[in-house]
Amino acid sequence: MLKMNKWTAGALGLLLIIILLIPFFIQDRYILGVFIVLLLNCSLAVSVFPILGTGLFTVAHGGFMAIGAYTATLLVMKLGVNCWLAMLAAGITSIIVAVLLSFPTLRVKYLYFFLITFGFNEIIRLAFGNWAWVGRNEGITDIPRPSIVIPGLVNIDFRATAHYYYLGLVLLVIIIVVMHRLWSSQMRRIWQAIHINESLTQSVGIDVFKYKMLVFVIGCFFAGVLGTFYAYYYRFIAPSEFGLSTSMYPLFYVAIGGLGSIPGALLGSTLLTAVPEIFRFTNVYQPMFSGVILILVMLFLPKGLISLPAVWRDRKRGDQSSAKD
Amino acid sequence: MALLEVKGLTKQFGGLTAVGNVNLQLQKGEIVGVIGPNGAGKTTFFNLITGFIPPTSGKVFFRSKEITHMKPHRIAGLGITRTFQLNTVFGGMTVLDNLIVSSQLHSRFGFSETLLNLASNKRKEREMREKANRVIEFMRLGDFVNSDAATLPHGQQRCLAIAIALMTDPTLLLLDEPFSGMTAEETDKTLRSIREINQRGIDIVVIEHNVAAIMALCHKVIAINFGTKIAEGTPEEIRNNQAVIEAYLGEE
């Protein structure tokens, strides 16, 4: 567990209050939209980092978002299913597909796993892109807004951008809580052990396949749910939205923030969402800045931004000891 | 009834016979040594017994139950745990975490109890911590509890490898060159630890190059060369066996 002093706890509390109050200060729909994208990116990063921590470099996350987004959208639009039930169904569909995908993919490692998940992602994208019933590459437009209605009590119609902000925040909190529980327990040890030394993990009686599948399925479940959030928020989905770059970005967020920790994943997502936004005026050169950050961080902070305090402390200590000499 | 019985175990890699028709019976209470020159097939022999590679032919029985084509984790679950020659520990994790993760077989931390942070989960965490600490003390790793396993001195890493195996509560322990790279003093300490493990009722098979250590430790020794068993007997018999001497020193 994190050991916090009074100041860190206070700062975190303040940060939490600011996060909760953001929609009250920011009325501009565009800027609030950036914050919603930030929440989505943070959620994606936190949902994928344990998979990476197990040594599975998946680039199928976009594909699972697509599965979730299309499942929920079709359930709502074609069958009139309740939007929240549809979101859950989207997550469950992702679980089923992830389990099926586990059998061929989890037997191979490293680059091979990467390539198979990439192939899967492309198959999903191309399949939706050629399927007339779901609008081919034009996708689906006018997806209805979600709503929370309890007669006489609650009526949230999601006409205000703030509603989506809070929905995104709720999803992020749920994902953080679930992943934190798992990542601060024996599950983390098992997943890391598999990453470090698969044979040794087997030799102590751990069913490596089972635990790889577990972490993959949990991550993909959330990817499916987040895909649904994406569909509800933009009210438009198309296969091109869930291509390779959508799958790759969460990996960048985690790598930049620092592999193997939730704060790292959050930090990386925030930086890589904020910086391109700041450089939006550069138009076509905008994606370049994400690349530059990635290269700089990998060169100078291979353990990610989260290691900055430790690196800084070491350097300071190094200076002192060299000063003594 | 033999604890472990190996019948005609054979492994061919293409045209090469790594292990050829090896038979072995291990009785309860024994420490058995497996010696042989480099490339004799000793490690392959372990890999076959523990399910890491499937044999070409032959059978392995553990407590009269056939385990020949079982997966490694299932075999570990039955009570056979092995150590490795290289990459013996979870580098990057603390010594304590190395041991707690290795207790999964018995602690059986579950997914939902972890997610819901149930009392049973906290109890297991506490129990496994205690168990790990007992094993740490037994293997004299007390100074390194919270160190990264990768940063441990070589000798301590090999002790940690044995400690990891002990966390699974094995009935049969297969040690692959436990003394390699150890100083004389470390070898001595480890010898004592292994004897004590055996006295606690765990049977042991040791692969080793350090012939002196093998002779001091084992009740029975098997010599392997080019994948086949060339001799079997007490340490004294092996020491004087002509075939063994030839395998190690070459013919006159």
SS3 per-residue string spanning chain A: CCCCCHHHHHHHHHHHHHHHHHHHHCCCHHHHHHHHHHHHHHHHHHHHHHHHHCCCCCCCHHHHHHHHHHHHHHHHHHHCCCHHHHHHHHHHHHHHHHHHHHHHHCCCCHHHHHHHHHHHHHHHHHHHHCCHHHCHHHCEECCCCCCEEECCCEEECCCCHHHHHHHHHHHHHHHHHHHHHHHCCHHHHHHHHHHHCHHHHHHCCCCHHHHHHHHHHHHHHHHHHHHHHHHHHHCEECHHHHCHHHHHHHHHHHHHHCCCCHHHHHHHHHHHHHHHHHHHHHHHHHHHHHHHHHHHHHHHCCCCHHHHHHHHHHHHHHHHHHHHC
Task: Please list the residues that pair with A222 across neighbouring strands.
Answer: none
pLDDT at A279: 86
Rounded CA-CA distance B18/B40 in Å is 7
- Of B48, B17, B25, B15, which Cα lies nearest the Cα of B203? B25
pLDDT of residue A319: 63
Please provide the DSSP assignment of chain B as one string.
--SEEEEEEEEEETTEEEEEEEEEEE-TT-EEEEE-STTSSHHHHHHHHTTSS--SEEEEEETTEE-TT--HHHHHHHTEEE--SSS-S-TTSBHHHHHHHTTHHHH---HHHHHTT-HHHHHHHHHHHHHHHHHHHHTT-GGGTTSBGGGS-HHHHHHHHHHHHHTT--SEEEEESTTTT--HHHHHHHHHHHHHHHHTT-EEEEE-S-HHHHHHH-SEEEEEETTEEEEEE-HHHHHT-HHHHHHHH---
How wide is the angle at C-alpha A101 spanned by C-alphas A97 and A106, nearest 5°?
145
In this structure, the dihedral spanned by the alpha carbons of residues B10, B177, B150 and B191, taken in order and rounded to 10 degrees, is: 140
The closest of B59, B57, B22 to B224, measured between CA atoms, is B22
Residue A292: how many other CB atoms lie within 10 Å: 12
* Vertex A109 angle, CA A105 and A112, to 5°: 70
ipTM for this prediction: 0.92
Indicate the residue of B91, B121, B168 with minimum beta-carbon distance to A204: B168
Q: For residue B1, what pLDDT is reported?
A: 67
pLDDT tens sequence for chain B (252 residues): 688 999 999 999 988 889 989 898 888 888 999 988 888 888 999 999 999 999 999 999 999 899 999 999 999 999 999 999 988 899 999 999 999 999 998 888 888 888 888 888 889 999 999 999 999 999 999 999 999 999 999 999 999 999 999 999 999 999 999 998 888 999 999 999 999 999 999 999 999 888 888 888 999 999 988 888 888 999 889 888 888 888 877 765
In percent, how much of chain A has pLDDT > 90?
69
| A39 Cβ contact partners less than 8 Å away, ≥ 6 residues apart | A165, A168, A169, A171, A172
- Is B90 close to A185, i.e. CB distance below 8 A? no
CA distance A154 to chain B (A): 29
With an 8 Å Cβ cutoff, are A202 and B117 in contact?
no
Q: Which residues of B touch A178 (CB under 8 A)?
A: 115
pLDDT bucket at A126, cuts 50 / 70 / 90: very high
Closest partner residue to A202 (CB to CB) among B73, B88, B101 is: B73
Lowest mean pLDDT across A120-129, A169-178, A268-277: A268-277
**CA of B245, closest CA in chain A: separation in Å?**
34
Tokens in use for B213? Answer: 């250590």
The domains found in chain B, sorted by start residue, are 4-89+171-187+199-249 (3.40.50.300)
Nearest to A200 among B90, B114, B121 (CB): B90
What predicted TM-score, i.e. pTM, was given to this entire model?
Answer: 0.91
Contacts of A219 in chain B (CB under 8 A): none
Q: Quick count: other Cβ atoms within 10 Å of Cβ B187?
A: 20
- Calculate how close chain A gets to B251, using CA atoms only, in Å: 38
Chain B residues within an 8 Å CB radius of A186: 100-101, 104, 107, 109, 114, 124-125, 128
Enter the tokens of residue A156: 């949230």
Render the burial of B69-93: b for 16+ CB within 10 Å, e for the rest.
Answer: ebbbbebbbbbbbbbbbeebbbebb
**In this complex, do B72 and A202 lie within 8 Å of one another by their Cβ atoms?**
yes
The per-residue pLDDT for range A217-254, each reduced to its tens digit, is 999 999 999 999 999 999 999 999 999 999 999 999 99
Which residues from A are below 8 Å from B73, CB to CB? 202, 205-208
- Determine the pLDDT at residue B116: 87
Give yes or no for a contact between A256 and A304, defined as CB atoms under 8 angstroms apart: yes
Please check the confidence at residue A324 and state whether its pLDDT lies above 60.
no
Question: B200: which 2 tokens?
Answer: 């606690």
Residue pLDDT, tens place only, A66-124: 999 999 999 999 999 999 999 999 999 999 999 999 999 998 888 999 999 999 999 99
- Per-residue confidence at A320, pLDDT binned at 50, 70, 90? low
Scanning the structure block, which residue is given the tokens 């004294």?
A: B236
The per-residue pLDDT for range A282-318, each reduced to its tens digit, is 888 888 888 888 899 889 888 888 888 888 888 887 6
pLDDT at B126 (0 to 100): 92
Spatial contact of B49 and B60, defined as CB atoms under 8 Å apart: yes
pLDDT greater than 50 at residue A325: no
**Mean pLDDT over the full length of chain A:** 91
Those residues of chain A whose CB sits closer than 8 Å to some CB in chain B are 178, 181-182, 185-187, 189-190, 192-193, 196-197, 199-208, 214
pLDDT surpassing 60 at residue A2: no
